[in-house]
Amino acid sequence: MPGTVELHRVLRAPAERIYRAFLDADAKARWLPPYGFIGKVEHLEAKVGGTYRMSFTNFSTGHSHSFGGTYVELVPNQRIRYNDRFDDPNLPGEMSVTVTLTEVSCGTDLHVVQEGIPDVIPVEQCYLGWQESLLQLGRLVEPEIPDGA
């Protein structure tokens, strides 16, 4: 039966900046790949019905896997829903990801739910990958860097 992971973080950043990090190709390639992987976004059309395609390459082995999907819902600075499908036939099925952003007193409450994880991927491995990705997301969106710096 396909797996589900659910993650929650509070980031010291405005919702707008986090929302943008999910939909900007360069930002996504920087923060989404878990530790030890290099991300490459081949295509990203950030609109409802728009598609994206990207790959993760294991830096140690050089092995890569690619995946892509479609944006299902985009509510600026509040909610992102999209689906994912691996190109590898050994990783069948479609996953869905829902990202919810809620402004709080110290930044933004970030809630991520990924459903439909293929049976061959241990849920704890996927959870670990997301934890690493969200730490990198925080490092990208939390610093307040003035223009010209």
| pLDDT > 80? residue 30 | yes
Domains of the chain: 3-141 (3.30.530.20)
b or e along 89-110 (b: 16 or more beta carbons within 10 Å of the residue's beta carbon)? eebeeebebbbbbeeeeebbeb
End-to-end CA distance of the chain: 49
Cβ atoms of 108 and 97 closer than 8 Å? no
- The rounded Cα 70 to chain-centroid distance in angstroms is 13
Q: Per residue in 81-139, pLDDT tens?
A: 999 999 998 888 899 999 999 999 999 999 999 999 998 889 999 999 999 999 999 99
pTM of the model: 0.93
pLDDT value at 58 more than 90: yes
Q: Phi, psi at residue 138, to the nearest 5°?
A: -60, -40
